[in-house]
Structure 1
Amino acid sequence: MLIKIRKILHKSPQILFIRHLNGINIWNEELTLDVKEKIEKHWSNKINKKLTNGDSKEKYYVLPMFPYPSGNLHMGHVRVYTISDSIARFQRMNRKNVIHPIGWDAFGLPAENAAIERNVLPEEWTTQNIQYMKSQLEQLGCSFDWSRELSTCNKDFYKWTQDLFLKLYDAGLVYQRKAQVNWDPIDKTVLADEQVDENGCAWRSGAKVEKKYLKQWFVQTTKFAKQLYDGLNDSILEDWRDITKLQKHWIGECTGVIFDFRILECGRVSNEFIRIWTDKPEYLEHVKFIAVSSRDNVYAQNPITKKSVPIFVESVDFENGLDHHIGIPGINENNLFTRYNIQPSKIELSPSEIISKREEICKEARDSNQGGYWVSTKLKDWLVSRQRYWGTPIPIIHCQCCGPQPVPESLLPVLLPKVNSFSSERTSTREYKEWINTNCPKCGADALRETDTLDTFFDSSWYYLRYLDIKNDREIFNKERVKVQMPVDLYIGVPTKEPFKRLLVQEDEVEILNVKNNKAIHKRTKAPVTMSWEKMSKSKQNGVDPSDMFKQYGVDTTRLLIMADVAPTSHRHWNSNTFPGILNWQHRLWLTIQDFIKHRKTVPKSIPDEKFKSEDDYMFDSRNFYIKGATFNYCQSQQMSVAVSKMQGLTNSLRRVSAFTVAKSPQYERALAAQIILLAPMAPQFASELWSGFLIAENRLNADSDINWNASVLEQIWPSIDLDYKLELVCQVNGHENAAIKFPRKDIEVLSKEDALKFALKVDKVQEVLKTRTILNVKYTINYGYENVINILTTQPPPKKQKQL
């Protein structure tokens, strides 16, 4: 009976179909927009059924940028999330256990202002936007793990943001002090320096920024300045291109040390301090005065000598971008010594004394938590206070007797005050008196809650860790899980430092400060960006609503158009001249499956054996060549436009051979299967329909091959290069290619460094170069699937003798 069933199945492979493999199967029709819509309607609920490889131990964490729920996707979003989705699908097909989460950077001023304009609550506005944008991402076909979805305005998330703040507070890394800040009189909040343009106007409201002295909360980022700066040389930061340069520019070279001089009030040391920077820390004991640009005339205590030091106010611009000057006789003298009637005296230290004194003073300052850390003149501590309602409440309670007290962990989260209406007059939590009044957690007396909320960057500084442990209600995240699942393998956006191994920069992360003067910065790095402007036009597709693109071309076609147009790292200037190429390619793929079904059903007239053998070999070579190229661009360079080009090359090869080869060639069948699989990450719905057509064709020639005939295209294993296909050993001398030797994959995979060198030294061009040089070192890069490189490093050739006249 079993044998009989097998015979029936062999004759009628259609019976093998499980429901989730069936397509719309209208292969007698042309590929019109109507057909595309039918395909997407059929497959939209099927392409994301299996998103995990639970049996795989190798993880791959692909993290797209954290979206702000503005209400509508734009084409920049489509681009970022299509890239991340394509790479996530590619890695799943390589049997990785893929982590591909999504969430919402939901707090912040834009939502507040939008809520005021529309007379709704910020929470209502934000929730509505999240729901709509989520539906758009689902329409885009993104394979996000929605079970990991988070929102920074959800109390289950910001409970842990508050917990993180308190951990930093307990470690002495968060403090509160008076500081001169940028105040936006319209938005009524503090602004970072980067949010003020060169004319002194606020980045959002356009109002002239005011300078105020306010008590603010800071994170002591300067303590880690040198560690951050040096860490940017870490080899883990693959493919960071120029971002490390931007980060180094932002942090600045750490050529000096910071020290905190406590302010003296009525002769007593207060909690207030003034922070000074000096590149001569060894002379700190000899400071005679501090000059600042603005402050009341007071005294401060030298953290080393404990002596009183006067602070003078000077309305001048200090050097190196500093807002102060310290007076050390004989070291950094200027006319201020004369003005303040301070007698200079020469202080001399030997080189050995400088080193020992420097170490001694810095250690003493660190031990007393008053600085002693190397930092640049640029980097300042991170001001995290914001004076608006829609943000994470800072979990501190102010008591007149006990001072500032952290909210006990058992009472977290500190929720925002409940509001029934929202207006421009009530944009700060300080307006809600019932919420402010509370009791001191230490002594029980009447106390007041902190009314500032946290900068939204504080929320987004750690969200990628919460994705890994979203349902943990006992701790911020499980440390053992983080050890296994970090670092992020690929981040698409502009990140901060170490947690991200590889980076794709998106132009959408640019923040425009001043349109008129073409001033812009990277949102995260704060480094300056050069802007150029072009007129909005249909040909550039600038500002086009994704929904309009979906209606005009279809979802998967839109995904292909945006992938094929430019490289991920390029500015997103669409050019409709590239559209016909993609549309034509889809039509040729559709025709290819139609022909495949037709020729497998009714075998065409035969061709000579020699020609058939030639075309079968041609399909073998084409399959391997384009698998190699497309795979490299999926996983190594992430140049998706080049991957599209490689796939188009394979289509050209498939359409060059005779109808008889289509019907009878095992290698054609394998190449066509590879074609559809290569396409699947970028256009999962269209590829699924092509695959259903591939499966219904009769007379399978590779029944026992690596094609899984009972699985969908997205469940296939990514096609690999055949063991007999020849790959290149590239021979270089000092990085310059001289020749390439071809080996079958099975041999090059086991080729040792010593053997690779032996083969390279036999190449005539290499021998010619080495005649006048000595080998210093040899580097061998094993790059299976692409190429192996033997790089011979040598001495420079001797200078040529000049002919005597």
Structure 2
Amino acid sequence: MFPYPSGRLHMGHVRVYTLSDTLARYYRMRGYQVIHCIGWDAFGLPAENAAFERSEEPDQWTKKNIAYMKQQIKQLGCSFDWKRAAVNWDPVDQTVLADEQINEAGRSWRSGAIVEKKYLKQCFVFNETNNTYKKYYSTKTPYKSPSSTLVLPLPPTGFELVCTQVLARHGCRALEGRKYDKLTMALWTQAKEEQALTEYGQQFGEDLQYFISINDKLGRGQLSGLGKIEHQNLGRRLTERILPLFMNGLLTNSSTRIRIVNSGKPRTKESSDAFVQGLPIAIKRLIDYEPANPTLLSFYDDIKYQTYFKQDKQLKNKLRSIQVQPYSRKMARNVLERLFKESFIDKLANGSYLIIDNESGKSIKNEIDAVRMLHGLYLIGPNLREEGVEYLLEKYFNLNESAWFAYLQDAKEYYEKGPGLSDRTIIHEMAQILLDDFFLHSEQCSQINSTHILRARFTHAEAIIPFAALLKIPILSDKSTPINETYTYENNGWRGELVSPMTANIQWEIYRNHNNGTTHYFSNQQILIRMLFNEYPVPFKYECQPYNMINHLFYKIDELKRCYRISLHDSLDTLDKDDWQTLINIQRMWMGECNGVNILFKLSIPTSEYDFIETFTIKPDALLNITHLYIQSTHKLARPDLIEETETGAKRLRIDAIHPLTERELPIFINDDADFGPKIRANMTMLNVQIGTPISNKFDESFANKHNISTFINSSSHWYRMDLETLLAELRSRELGGYRTSGKLNDWCISRQRYWGTPIPIIHCNHCGAVPVPMSELPVQLPSIKNIKSSSKTGISPLTNAHDWIKIQCPKCGNLNAKRETDTMDTFVDSSWYFLRYLDNENTTKPFEPDIANKLMPVDLYIGGLEHALTHLFVARFIQHFMHSKGLCTSIEPFKRFIPIGMVQGKTYKTSSGQYVSKDNIMTIDKNTVIHSLTKEPLQIDWEKMSKSKYNGIDPEEIINQYGVDFTRILMLTFVHPRSLRNFNLEDGIADGLQNWFKILINLYVELIESRTKSNIKSSMTNKEFKQIEIDLREQRLNTIYTVAFYIDSFFSVASAVIELQKLTRYLRKVPINIKQQSNEYIRCLCDLLVMIGPVIPFLSSELWTILQQQIKSNVDDYDLSKSLFEQNYPKLPDDYPGKINALYDSTIFASMPISRSLLSSLSTSDVLQYLNENDHQSQMKMFIANNGLKLDRLRKLGDYCATLIYERDPNVTIIEQPEPINDKKKSKTLKKKNVS
């Protein structure tokens, strides 16, 4: 991704470009032809505003910044192909990755201003999405009830409340099981014993012990003070809200009753008792305690469910794949780095510890498990607020980390108890039973003689979750394949704000029409239901149609029963790719399911805003049966001067729509009661229009009959002899829709009312309409305009002031009064295809030559931050698919692999009010305490994205001037994976460690000079010993080549590769001096070391290479010492060097053996099993599998490096003992087992 020319590089730039340069150099030396291009995020509002603030012209300001930043990039030693970089403002060469966006609050994300909706003639690319992205919910917290009784909207006229049903969870309480605290404390104790705690880690131990003491003082699993208050207040607020029902029973001394039901377990009985305590004394006498129905309220414990879940292999695999994804490891490491030293975290991540709770069977096997346990404590903490526990554990998670592990917890609930099971398991059936019970009681209490005005059920979250999911999740079809569906908040309708383990209560209010005579039992047509989640009104899932648009939160019971008898909808297939999974999930959420088509209707009389109106329908087969259209009252066409009232009282437009095929004139009515489908986004105008088909829709039939709409259909027309696909093809040929699309997709507005952007190459002529600018006049150059800043304030494009530029002759008819388009393009239009232009940047007749694109596309590697890449990758894929559809590219996807670079974070200091404090105003008291030097207020220390406003930014030039370019590069590439957040701090000693390694590296080559200049070196080493050392050197060298290439090719983990090179450096340091003087193998090691480390630290490596050139007079195998370092070939493994086959369980390799690399590609699962079983460790391997209760899951291959059998825990096998892992000939890390009783 390319930099925005702000004037200076920041550390995030350094991280991205040093990584891309390292990989570019690496692959060049491996023999690949590498295109490593660079450009500038030059156009757009940020550059325009920055120039205005400095009273400069945007082009001059941008060019000046580019010149300076180009010098900075070159200073970093980045080997970009500058010949392909943009050299002028030609739109084909601009690559801009920023754009104005609107946030969830309807504000501009740049200015914060509320966005106004205006209807203007704009340029669009159809069927794209807007640039919004819902963030994951930051955390789960206990139920936050309303502070007082809410005043809710009144029901429709004639309806009165007769009953309320409540399903409430058992309430906030102390931690019940011991798995979270015991396992976390055991891990902390292990770190303490190894002296691997940070200062923050020491404090964490104290906080944890305090938390456990408060929890145990309250009592394991006991209802906390907050939980009691929660249920008492719920009873109080319910009483206030439905007091007339209670008072009627008390005053008339009737049989009016309140039913209280709990699951029969002590926890829920405590909750129901607390609820009753919140009721007034007079009302308590109305209570009946109804016997519990375990099937309804405790079905999570049902043996049928437990048996099924343990056998559901696919389910567990899907959940596991979510939990162990790379981003989880990154987030886990971020948390643990605050508590433990790096070496301890590495061992934990590598599976060197196994900490088991024998009581629950839960364990910590890696860094993800560790943080999941800590996060479990983090969630319980607020429950104990009334017991004096402050949020001690909150300070160990930042917002992103807390959000991610809340997401993992929701995913676990989703697959174990929620819609992830769907109708594959017993859970769906039992949730349906509870739903049926709600329906039954709703009908019973709506009877005139019903005496029950409140029914409150108390149960566990495990019962509420699937029920809530069934109520809220979208259901679209009769088929269900949820196991192919990867959990995300947005993708499934399973969302933390509505459905989560912390869901406190669900209420149904039942309303009866009291104006409907005196029948003994009211029909379902006279029963309305309103649902409340946590006491706030919410809609049922969007397939359910509300009573009307005014009373849109009230639903007829028959409509709800119809809606909830449909099976769960088909899920979208997901691609199991480590690089792309997160991005794929987000894009699938943006796009939605393409389950309908768009249809365009021309207007009989075009208006100033519209030539046609568009609708989206999931029933395209009704195309020929359309007799009229509906628009909502919010539609732009629903304006007074266009509306007339018919004799029957309907509101109709004075203009008609033209049927796109039959050309029949269709009347357009304003009616908010029609079925407009789900309200996905308010700005989607095509969802404000709906077709009327009386032949297949009862509402449409009734409406047509009432308002005298002709329902005659000429079924003898030739259109009726065509199938649906032919009709849709005809629509497409007429450019009137017919494309399969989603209700979520919107048109892409590319017009921008700003100066600093690519001019839209269109000329407007009064005679010819919109005419393209001739090819010979492209690209259109921006004119120079004075006082651009003042003209931008009007909301009209500043280019409207360039009168001489605007006026132009029409290239089609010669009209001298034609005008240029004055809007400029969205910068994503430029950046969406730059990779294609860079392949052929000197082509003056075409954007690119298809033959060149077909040869070189797709791009092998895309590097950039995830947040910035989300929208750019979306539009880039959109354009690439378009190019493919036009036959310009054989490649469908533009990019093969993706590295989402983690942000660089700096240390921040904040006051209790959240104000940031600069380092100049802090005072360190001791290891754990930092205060404000002026106010003496204690300060909070955290890691956050670098920013001037947070006083944690670091200028890369300062680092370069102090430590040098190579040191700066390796500082940004080591210690963490590229995907991980990088906490940048030179105060923790990492600089000293790297500097020491630099000294060792340099000394290797200085010692080579000394050894070669000394002639009196004596040694008692025998020839046999000499040869053995050379054999060991060769083995060490080849192993390093293998491992470095493995880490880079497979995971792009330069940090891991550098660790291996540091090992080789230290190994060579210990070699005897006569080996250094005489051994060719040692010289080969020195050559290989420089070539492998050269892409990371090119300057120092090149300097050290000159020492080899001066000292080594004879040839070295595979190297030409007369050439420079970067003209050398990367070291290769000999053909007979083996790969590996492994058996892996939870990041622990418990069996491994070498195998010919030529065989790896052809190995099957059974082949690998056979090889390992025939190995010397067959018995140990079988014992490890048996003792850990494992079963084979799948085979995973990584190039010609290794093939690995992945094992997982078999839930049907009881674990007896955890043995030590099996070591191969090389020394491996020992698996430490720690049982927690």
TM-score (norm 2): 0.49
Counterpart pick for 1:261 among 594, 601, 614:
601
TM-superposition CA deviations, 1:104-158 (whole Å, max 9, x none): 2321112211222222211111111111111111111111111111157236747
The amino acid of 2:799's aligned partner reads: T
The amino acid of 1:719's aligned partner reads: P
The whole-number CA distance in structure 2 between the counterparts of 1:345 and 1:262 is 20
2:1047 equivalent to 1:633: yes
Aligned to 1:437: 807
2:1007 equivalent to 1:595: yes
The whole-number CA distance in structure 1 between the counterparts of 2:6 and 2:1063 is 40
The amino acid of 1:69's aligned partner reads: P
TM-aligned CA deviation for residue 584 of structure 1: 1.7
Counterpart pick for 2:901 among 497, 506, 511:
506
Alpha carbons of structure 1 residues 406 and 214: separation in structure 2 relative to 1, 3 Å: same
User: 2:631 is paired with a residue of what secondary structure?
Assistant: strand
Aligned to 2:515: none
The amino acid of 2:586's aligned partner reads: L
Alpha carbons of structure 1 residues 354 and 137: separation in structure 2 relative to 1, 3 Å: farther
Say whether the 8 Å CA contact 1:261–1:302 is kept in structure 2.
yes
Which is worse superposed, 316-325 or 674-683? 316-325
Say whether the 8 Å CA contact 2:862–2:898 is kept in structure 1.
yes
TM-aligned CA deviation for residue 286 of structure 1: 4.0
2:1014 equivalent to 1:674: no
The whole-number CA distance in structure 2 between the counterparts of 1:645 and 1:692 is 24
User: 1:621 is paired with a residue of what secondary structure?
Assistant: helix
TM-aligned CA deviation for residue 541 of structure 1: 9.9
Say whether the 8 Å CA contact 1:120–1:421 is kept in structure 2.
no
Aligned to 1:16: none
Say whether the 8 Å CA contact 1:320–1:377 is kept in structure 2.
no
The whole-number CA distance in structure 1 between the counterparts of 2:21 and 2:781 is 35
Alpha carbons of structure 1 residues 379 and 358: separation in structure 2 relative to 1, 3 Å: same
TM-aligned CA deviation for residue 78 of structure 1: 0.9
TM-aligned CA deviation for residue 688 of structure 1: 0.6
TM-aligned CA deviation for residue 214 of structure 1: 0.6
TM-aligned CA deviation for residue 713 of structure 1: 1.5
Counterpart pick for 1:694 among 1079, 1100, 1108:
1108
Structure 1 gaps, min length 5: 1-64, 162-190, 224-228, 511-517, 519-531
The amino acid of 2:660's aligned partner reads: P
Aligned to 1:457: 828
The whole-number CA distance in structure 1 between the counterparts of 2:677 and 2:619 is 17
Aligned to 2:637: 296
Aligned to 2:62: 126
TM-superposition CA deviations, 1:337-362 (whole Å, max 9, x none): 7699558999999xxx9998643543
Alpha carbons of structure 1 residues 712 and 310: separation in structure 2 relative to 1, 3 Å: same
Aligned to 1:524: none
Say whether the 8 Å CA contact 1:119–1:422 is kept in structure 2.
no
The amino acid of 2:616's aligned partner reads: W
User: 1:381 is paired with a residue of what secondary structure?
Assistant: strand
Aligned to 2:42: 106
Aligned to 2:423: none
Aligned to 2:972: 562
TM-aligned CA deviation for residue 740 of structure 1: 2.5
Aligned to 1:206: 112
- 1:234-249 alignment runs, 5 A limit: 239-249=579-589
Counterpart pick for 1:783 among 1178, 1182, 1199:
1199
Alpha carbons of structure 1 residues 592 and 333: separation in structure 2 relative to 1, 3 Å: farther
The amino acid of 1:677's aligned partner reads: V
The whole-number CA distance in structure 2 between the counterparts of 1:385 and 1:720 is 53
TM-superposition CA deviations, 1:733-758 (whole Å, max 9, x none): 9999763332466x757987697676
- 1:638-653 alignment runs, 5 A limit: 638-653=1052-1067
The whole-number CA distance in structure 2 between the counterparts of 1:643 and 1:491 is 20
- 1:132-281 alignment runs, 5 A limit: 132-150=68-86, 153-154=89-90, 157=93, 195-221=101-127, 239-265=579-605, 272-281=611-620
Structure 2 gaps, min length 5: 130-490, 492-569, 639-652, 682-686, 878-892, 906-913, 915-941, 1215-1237
TM-superposition CA deviations, 1:218-244 (whole Å, max 9, x none): 112459xxxxx99x9898978324221
Aligned to 1:5: none
TM-superposition CA deviations, 1:654-695 (whole Å, max 9, x none): 123222332233322222211111110011001111212233
Say whether the 8 Å CA contact 1:106–1:151 is kept in structure 2.
no
Say whether the 8 Å CA contact 1:781–1:788 is kept in structure 2.
yes
Q: % of aligned pairs identical? A: 38
Say whether the 8 Å CA contact 1:568–1:639 is kept in structure 2.
yes
TM-aligned CA deviation for residue 456 of structure 1: 0.7
Aligned to 1:308: 666
The amino acid of 2:738's aligned partner reads: G
Aligned to 1:447: 818
Say whether the 8 Å CA contact 2:1161–2:1199 is kept in structure 1.
no
The whole-number CA distance in structure 1 between the counterparts of 2:904 and 2:611 is 37
Larger radius of gyration: 2
The whole-number CA distance in structure 2 between the counterparts of 1:321 and 1:152 is 42
Aligned to 1:17: none
User: 1:119 is paired with a residue of what secondary structure?
Assistant: coil
The whole-number CA distance in structure 2 between the counterparts of 1:124 and 1:145 is 24
Aligned to 1:40: none
Aligned-pair Cα RMSD in Å: 4.4
The whole-number CA distance in structure 2 between the counterparts of 1:562 and 1:734 is 29
Alpha carbons of structure 1 residues 588 and 734: separation in structure 2 relative to 1, 3 Å: closer
The amino acid of 2:623's aligned partner reads: L
Alpha carbons of structure 1 residues 721 and 509: separation in structure 2 relative to 1, 3 Å: same
The amino acid of 1:108's aligned partner reads: G
The whole-number CA distance in structure 2 between the counterparts of 1:653 and 1:541 is 42
Alpha carbons of structure 1 residues 236 and 157: separation in structure 2 relative to 1, 3 Å: farther
Say whether the 8 Å CA contact 1:566–1:641 is kept in structure 2.
yes
Say whether the 8 Å CA contact 1:567–1:639 is kept in structure 2.
yes
Aligned to 1:711: 1123
Alpha carbons of structure 1 residues 345 and 573: separation in structure 2 relative to 1, 3 Å: farther
2:858 equivalent to 1:487: yes
The amino acid of 2:897's aligned partner reads: R
Which is worse superposed, 724-733 or 131-140? 724-733
Alpha carbons of structure 1 residues 129 and 734: separation in structure 2 relative to 1, 3 Å: closer
Corresponding pairs, count: 666
TM-aligned CA deviation for residue 212 of structure 1: 0.6
The whole-number CA distance in structure 2 between the counterparts of 1:72 and 1:778 is 48
Counterpart pick for 1:73 among 9, 13, 35:
9
The amino acid of 2:754's aligned partner reads: R
TM-aligned CA deviation for residue 211 of structure 1: 1.1
The amino acid of 2:812's aligned partner reads: K
Counterpart pick for 1:428 among 795, 798, 803:
798
TM-aligned CA deviation for residue 93 of structure 1: 0.6
The whole-number CA distance in structure 2 between the counterparts of 1:635 and 1:658 is 34
- 1:330-729 alignment runs, 5 A limit: 358-419=724-785, 422-425=788-791, 428-445=798-815, 446-493=817-864, 494=869, 495-496=873-874, 497=877, 498-507=893-902, 534=944, 542-576=952-986, 577=988, 578-602=990-1014, 604-609=1017-1022, 610-697=1024-1111, 703-729=1115-1141
Alpha carbons of structure 1 residues 301 and 672: separation in structure 2 relative to 1, 3 Å: same
User: 2:120 is paired with a residue of what secondary structure?
Assistant: strand
The whole-number CA distance in structure 1 between the counterparts of 2:3 and 2:1057 is 26
Counterpart pick for 1:319 among 678, 694, 714:
678
The whole-number CA distance in structure 2 between the counterparts of 1:272 and 1:391 is 28
Alpha carbons of structure 1 residues 365 and 748: separation in structure 2 relative to 1, 3 Å: closer
Which protein, 1 or 2, shows the higher relative CO under an 8 Å CA cutoff with sep ≥ 6? 1
The amino acid of 2:56's aligned partner reads: V
The whole-number CA distance in structure 1 between the counterparts of 2:894 and 2:1042 is 30
The amino acid of 1:153's aligned partner reads: W
The amino acid of 2:998's aligned partner reads: Q
Alpha carbons of structure 1 residues 618 and 354: separation in structure 2 relative to 1, 3 Å: farther
Say whether the 8 Å CA contact 1:261–1:370 is kept in structure 2.
yes
TM-aligned CA deviation for residue 489 of structure 1: 0.8
Which is worse superposed, 323-332 or 381-390? 323-332
The whole-number CA distance in structure 1 between the counterparts of 2:787 and 2:118 is 30
Say whether the 8 Å CA contact 1:237–1:500 is kept in structure 2.
no
